[in-house]
Chain A
Amino acid sequence: MSRPPGRKQENHKISRELFVLTYGALVAQLCKDYEKDEDVNICLDRMGYGIGIRLIDDFLARSAVKKCRSYSETVDMIAQVAFKMYLGVTASVSCSSAAGNEFSLILDKNPLVDFVEELPAERASLCYCNLLCGVIRGALEMVHLAAEVTFLQDRLKGDAVTEIGITFLRKAEDRKHRRN
C-alpha cells in the first residue's frame, strides 16, 4: 500500500466557502421545489436527521468522550465539543425549564449564514438552518435520547440572537431500567 498506515485526515480540509455555497445551493433548490416554507423546513430537518444518525458515530469515534450522565451534560457536549468540531464555533447553553429537560443553545456566530443577511419577504418563515436541528435530533436519537429540536429565535428573521431549543422527551432507556 502506498499510503502509510494510520493516516490522519486532518490535512484534507475542504474550503469553508465551498461548504457554505453548497448549503446555500441546497436551500435555494428546495425553495424552487417547494412553495410552502413549512415544506422546505421539513425537508431540511429530514435531511439533517439522515446526517445526524451517521455523524454521531463519527463524533463519538473521534472525540472519545465518555457517556453523558444527564441532559445538561449532553447539551454542554453538543454546544462545546460537537459544534466546535464540526462548525468551528461554540454555543452557550441555558436551561429553560424547572423540569430540567428543556434547553437553549445560543449561537453567537453561525458559519452557515455568513453570507446571508436576511430572508426574502416571500420566505419569511423559512428556517434557513433547519438542517442543524435535524442533525441534532438524529444524533441524539442514536444515543437513545428522544428530543424535539427547533429554532426558537433566528437572527435572519430579525430576532436578536439565534437560539436552538432542545426539549428532551421521555428517555427510551427508562423502560430498560425498569425491567432490571
Chain B
Amino acid sequence: VLRLHDERVVVAFGQRDGIRVGHAVLAINGAEVNGRFTADGKDVLEFLGNPANYPVSIRFGRHRLSSNEKLMLASMLFAIGSQLSPEVGSSGIEMLETDTFKLHCFQTLTGIKFVVLADPRQAGIDSLLRKIYEIYSDFALKNPFYSLEMPIRCELFDQNLKLALEVAEKAGPFGPGS
C-alpha cells in the first residue's frame, strides 16, 4: 500500500520481501524517480495505478537525506537539546541511543559540532571524534582556500577522514561492517 508523504511515495503498509514500511519508491523500470514524479514527469501514483503500464518493476529503499535536510535535522536536534536541559548552561546533546544506532556528538569550545552515527556496539567513538577534530583543524582550517562555515570540499580532508573511520571500525569490538 503506497501513499504520498513529504513529496515522496512511501510504503504505508504491506511489508514483504525486504520492502519495509517507510521505504520510498526510488526507481520505476530502472529510471530514478524525482520525488513524486517519474523521470519523464508523470505522477508516480497515477502511473502505478494504471494497469496499462504493467508489468512494472519498482525499486524500493530508504530515502537518502540531502545535505540540506541533514543540516535542518541537526540544528533542530541541538536546539531541542539545549532547551530541554533542566540545568542552566548545559553543553548540549552528547549521545543519543536507539536500538539501531547511537548518535555521538562532540562540541568544541568554538561552537563546532561533530556528529557521528554508529552501530550501538561500536566502541572508540570518543577518540574518533577527537581525531576528526584534529583532521578538521589540519586539512580544512589550514587550507587557505577553505572558507569557514562553508561545506568542506577538501580532498585531503576526505582522504584522512576515511582513513580515521577505517581505523575506528577495526578497533571496535565487532570489527568492520557495522
Contact indicator A58/B167 (Cβ below 8 Å): no
Most chain B CB within a 10 A radius of its CB, from A61, A142, A177: A61
Contact indicator A53/B163 (Cβ below 8 Å): no
Taking CB atoms and an 8 Å cut-off, the chain B residues in 111-132 that contact chain A are 111-112, 130-131
Most chain B CB within a 10 A radius of its CB, from A5, A56, A67: A5
Taking CB atoms and an 8 Å cut-off, the chain A residues in 1-36 that contact chain B are 1, 5-6, 9
Contact indicator B88/A180 (Cβ below 8 Å): yes
> Is B153 engaged at the interface, CB distance under 8 Å to the other chain?
no
Given contacts A5-B163, A180-B88, contact A142 B110 (CB under 8 A): yes
Q: How many interface residues does chain B have, given as a range?
A: 20 to 34
Contact indicator A61/B109 (Cβ below 8 Å): no
Given contacts A58-B141, A60-B110, contact A53 B130 (CB under 8 A): no
Taking CB atoms and an 8 Å cut-off, the chain A residues in 123-179 that contact chain B are 142-144, 177
Instruction: Among B112, B164, B167, point to the contact of A57 (Cβ < 8 A).
Output: B112
Given contacts A54-B141, A180-B88, contact A60 B167 (CB under 8 A): no
Contact indicator B134/A61 (Cβ below 8 Å): yes
A76 CB → nearest B CB, Å: 16
**Count of interface residues, chain A, beta-carbon cutoff 8 Å:** 19
A-B contact pairs, 18 of them (CB 8 A): A1-B163, A6-B131, A6-B167, A54-B148, A57-B110, A57-B141, A58-B137, A58-B141, A60-B110, A60-B137, A61-B108, A61-B130, A62-B134, A62-B137, A64-B130, A142-B110, A144-B111, A177-B89
What is A's interface to B at a CB cutoff of 8 Å?
1, 5-6, 9, 53-54, 56-58, 60-62, 64, 67, 142-144, 177, 180
Q: Besides A54-B148, A143-B110, 20 other CB < 8 A contacts?
A: A5-B166, A6-B167, A9-B138, A53-B148, A54-B137, A54-B141, A57-B108, A57-B110, A57-B133, A57-B136, A57-B137, A58-B137, A58-B142, A60-B109, A61-B133, A62-B137, A64-B130, A142-B111, A143-B109, A177-B88
